[in-house]
Structure 1
């Protein structure tokens, strides 16, 4: 399956929180997108890993992505190992994305920064011909994405560019709230966490609004990039 965009998250809901609006926008424009969750989020305070898998599937339907897979790595203990790198290499070679979206380069949860480096390294390795992989018994051709962009999560990292999601914020919020066990629910009797508060839910809007204010649109999502971006012209810039 050839996709335009492959988005990775250390945990189910990372992609929705960090770049759900961007994914929704790309899908609306006819781009093919897929999501790979590295772990099942089994250490999460609320819910279970089985429930989170169900929530992730529902969110994927809301966003309209072509596929979503979970690599079942160990939540809380991500390591940049050969085993984990090769699992990701197989996904890159399977979906053959032009662009990879990955976790924030620095964040409150240690898995996020680890996932950012793990995915980045795997993107490079996926392009090496002497690393041979197979999936479902079939040999995989090498593939290296053209760009890796990191979305922004808990920490207030300064973006190097933003995507206008003004018409897609509602879809982002809907996809996030598909994870009913994880976010604000005044009726829940489960323990509170930093992301279950009403303030956190509201921050999804006001953070997007603030990036929009700074960039001249209504709502935006920010990204950092691993290499300098070359533009053919100025046509894509919101003026």
Structure 2
């Protein structure tokens, strides 16, 4: 059994980037936690709705509300709070004793995502596996590690659909595009559907 922590800047980031992978961890007996740094208040919905959507999405993936943490930093201005951000991630890693950490990559056009990526690298300096996931705002993302999500891609889409305020108002939160991407990553990994990751650190158990 392994402690796993997924980190996202905004509600729905984790579902888009590694929702299918988290849904694979849960039935394997791993302890899965989620840390969402902002409430997404700069997006097309009110905070209370986005919080409810995030709770619903986490439960669909098999993550109970007691394992969903919120950072409560300001949406769009996370990079202005670098030290608070690092400490927020450090506290989550310490509390969960996470050995596997999923987070944003730094090759991203969204400033919050870049800040979270770099803060994670510092905060997770003792974690054995730190993997960066893809997001709709990523660029030059070339994964070399893949997880087969053939059995969980539908659950990934269901969790994303729980973020109804985003799915209805943002082309980036699109289940059809998620399915297209999962199929392409699956083609790369020689399976039906996959999520791809760029490893920051990957300790192999041999």
What is aligned with 1:145?
Answer: 127
1:102 is paired with a residue whose SS is: strand
**Counterpart in the other structure of 2:144:** 160
SS for the counterpart of 1:227 is strand
2:76 alignment counterpart: 76
Q: Which residue of 1 aligns with 2:192?
A: 218
Secondary structure of residue in 2 paired with 1:90: helix
Q: Distance in 2 between matches of 1:204 and 1:83?
A: 32
Q: 1:171 aligns with which of 155, 160, 164?
A: 155
Secondary structure of the residue aligned to 1:76 is coil
Task: Give me the TM-score of the superposition, normalised by structure 2.
Answer: 0.91
Query: Please, which runs of 5 or more residues in structure 1 have no aligned partner?
Result: 125-143, 186-191, 233-239
TM-score, normalisation: structure 1: 0.79
Cα distance per residue 1:45-76 (max 9 Å; x no partner): x1111110000000111011141011101110
**Within 1, Cα distance between the matches of 2:112 and 2:84?**
16
Task: Indicate if the aligned counterparts of 1:3 and 1:34 stay in contact, CA closer than 8 A.
Answer: no
What is the DSSP-based 3-state SS (H/G/I as helix, E as strand, rest coil) of the residue aligned with 1:25? helix
Distance in structure 1 (CA, Å) of the matches to 2:75 and 2:122? 19
Partner of 1:48: 46
Indicate the RMSD between aligned Cα atoms, in angstroms. 1.8
* Structure whose alpha-carbon radius of gyration is higher: 1
Give the 3-state SS of the residue equivalent to 2:108 in structure 1: coil
* Structure (1 or 2) with the greater helix fraction: 2
Match of 1:195 in 2: 172
For the Cα contact (< 8 Å) 1:159–1:222, is it kept in 2? yes
When residues 228 and 87 of structure 1 are mapped into structure 2, their CA distance, relative to the original with a 3 A threshold, is closer
Alignment size in residue pairs = 201
Distance between the aligned counterparts of 1:167 and 1:228, measured in 2? 24
How far off its partner does 1:104 sit? Answer: 2.4
CA shift for structure 1 position 84: 2.2
For the pair 1:62 / 2:44, whether they are aligned, the reply is no
Aligned partners of 1:195 and 1:201 also within 8 Å? no
The whole-number CA distance in structure 1 between the counterparts of 2:205 and 2:87 is: 32
